Structure 1
Amino acid sequence: MIDLHIRSEQPGDAAAIAALLHAAFAGNPHSNHTEHLIVERLRASGHLAVSLAALLPEGRLIGHVAFSKVAIDGRDEGWYGLGPLAVLPQVQGQGVGTALVEAGLSVLRRKGARGCVVLGEPGYYGRFGFAQDAGLRYPGPPPEYFLALAFDSPAPQGVVAYDSAFAEPEALP
């Protein structure tokens, strides 16, 4: 694990976070390369519930994680979605992403969240307690990549919808 500091996003971080998202997802075949737009739209709408930055001791931003509310069957059940999570390629595999996810989940618990979902690699997110929940569904991707983590009670049942910021740019009004 490298020496880093995790803090909430600051007003002057937006450009560095956008650059980080570009760099982190540049070679990802599962990305449509709009992660920076998702975070910008969440921020602009006031729906970026938790936004954490990981910095090296000298202040260089090397990682970021975002959390936003999700609806379950159209209702606010106190659940959040994790994503995007980004770490600069040259420091991936050194615990930055793990530290960001753990810090973000801790913030959600302090906020009184009831749970969190993520669309991601089961082998990675399983270490935080995320697992498939047959009662929570997200149409589209293979179900084994849609994972849930209930904090204090069983997960509600239904179809999960992310914030409209996650829609493809051309699909937005």
Structure 2
Amino acid sequence: MDLREELPNDRQAVRDIHLQAFGDHGLVVADLIDSLRDAITPEDGLSLVAEHNGQIVGHVMFTRSLLDAPRRLVEVQVLSPLAVMPELQGRGIGSALVRHGLGTLTERAVPLVFLEGDPGYYSRFGFAPGGGLGFRKPSLRIPDGAFQAIRLARYEPWMTGTLVYAEQFWRHDAVGLREPNA
């Protein structure tokens, strides 16, 4: 399996992975990715794919957001989304993508990475509940345990505060959980 940055001709394969992996929520996620791609530059953000036998089988995206810290705004990254073809889940593809991405962001001197996700899965990479680390979630709709952060090498203790998601997450209503039938 090869891990590499997403190329323009990978777009449809990446979209298909998310449509399959996220079920009913797949269209929102796929559209979010299409919007977030425009914000990624070689210095800011990261979109990685896992390729096996010439086929894209996994994808992860890291995009710029801000931490509203008391001292100043801090540029951080948000890991979202992560997906692997359903028939290949549980084989370490998603883990490999996350580890590769975190390594790249550490090299780029990113201090913090945030996400919304399963603590049972993401804790293996060093993510911990954000509230316990001095961070406030950007929406009350995010379950406390799902709001997670990892402090990388460039983190400094004064970097606390509220995560401010990039505008695309709000535009696609991809923050937290909506109440069904509300």
TM-score range, shorter chain: 0.7 to 0.9
Q: What secondary structure sits across from 1:113 in the alignment?
A: coil
Q: CA RMSD in A?
A: 2.1
Structure 1: give runs of 5+ residues left out of the alignment.
none
Mapping for residues 140-159 of structure 1, pairs under 5 Å: 140-152=141-153, 153=155, 154=157, 156-159=159-162
| Residue in structure 1 matched with residue 30 of structure 2 by the alignment | 36
Q: Aligned partners of 2:159, 2:144: CA distance in 1, in Å?
A: 17
Displacement after TM superposition at 1:164 (Å): 1.1
Structure 1 45/149 Cα, relative in aligned 2: closer, same or farther at 3 Å?
Answer: closer
Structure 1 41/155 Cα, relative in aligned 2: closer, same or farther at 3 Å?
Answer: farther
Q: Aligned partners of 1:15, 1:100: CA distance in 2, in Å?
A: 19
Displacement after TM superposition at 1:44 (Å): 2.4
Of 125, 129, 135, 1:128 maps to 125
| Residue in structure 1 matched with residue 170 of structure 2 by the alignment | 167
CA contact (8 A) 2:40 2:63 kept: no
Q: Runs in 1 of length 4+ with deviation above 6 angstroms?
A: none
CA contact (8 A) 2:68 2:163 kept: yes
Q: Aligned partners of 1:32, 1:101: CA distance in 2, in Å?
A: 20
> Under a length normalisation based on structure 2, what TM-score does the superposition of the two structures give?
0.82
Identity %: 34
Mapping for residues 7-156 of structure 1, pairs under 5 Å: 7-26=4-23, 31=25, 33-46=27-40, 49-56=45-52, 58-73=53-68, 76-134=73-131, 135-138=134-137, 139=139, 140-152=141-153, 153=155, 154=157, 156=159
Structure 1 32/54 Cα, relative in aligned 2: closer, same or farther at 3 Å?
Answer: closer
The count of residues paired between Structure 1 and Structure 2 equals 164
